[in-house]
Amino acid sequence: MVLEALERIRFKMEVTYIPKHRLILVRVTGEIDHHSAESIRRVTEKEIRRTSAINIAFDFGSVTFMDSSGIGMIIGRYKTASSLGGSVIVFDANEQVMRLMDMSGLSRLVIISDTMQKGITAMKKLRGVNV
């Protein structure tokens, strides 16, 4: 039970649907490891089905740690979004997370940005939509 309580403290997620952009915004707080990555996967897949969103934006401004499970989770969400004609944006990541994403080559697949708005602008440019 103590471990279970610690897991809850180390990870928190909030999901918001933004209809204008057919986008699910996932705000993550804490650590992204194997357990939390699986939770993020389950919740985002459920919300995509519920809302018919095609785009996913991850706010990593409060992420304190991420391992390779987080990279795998993002790649999985990229596959889902791209199969629907959408995109994935990751924004406001700290230096450690940015370094991990750079080493993995993730920027070839997803939009990595300082802010959500810059990410949305980049997404629209990729699709040829006037900004």
- Give pLDDT tens digits for 90-127: 999 999 999 999 999 999 999 999 999 999 999 999 88
Strand partners, 91: 59, 113
* Cα 110 from Cα 41, distance rounded (Å): 16
Task: Give 129's pLDDT tier (boundaries 50, 70, 90).
Answer: low
Q: What is the pTM of this model?
A: 0.90
**Mean pLDDT across 5-11:** 56
Q: Is the pLDDT of residue 82 over 90?
A: yes
Which pLDDT score is estimated for 131?
42
pLDDT for res 24: 97
